[in-house]
Amino acid sequence: MEFDNLISMKEIKKMTSLSATSIYRMIDEGCFPEGRMHKGRRIWRFSDVAAAVERMWNDAK
């Protein structure tokens, strides 16, 4: 079994240069992974976020 790093909204904002509002809008539109709640905080798997960023990059070309 392979484990993936878990990242927070703060890390996603730093990684993508997007605001939390933009990220949540993209989640609502189905363009970004929803993540999961853990101990009252939303977290994402790094691989899911990286795949979403890759799709955004490819769509922008």
d(CA 42, CA 12): 11
Note whether residue 1 is domain-resident. Answer: no
The total of structural domains in the chain comes to 1
Note whether residue 33 is domain-resident. Answer: yes
pLDDT at 1: 56
Note whether residue 10 is domain-resident. Answer: yes
pTM: 0.85
CATH number for the domain spanning 53: value is 1.10.1660.10
pLDDT at 37: 96
| C-alpha distances in Å from residue 45, one per residue of 26, 52, 57, 60 | 16, 11, 19, 23
pLDDT tens digits, 2-50: 678 999 999 999 999 999 999 999 999 999 999 999 999 999 999 999 9
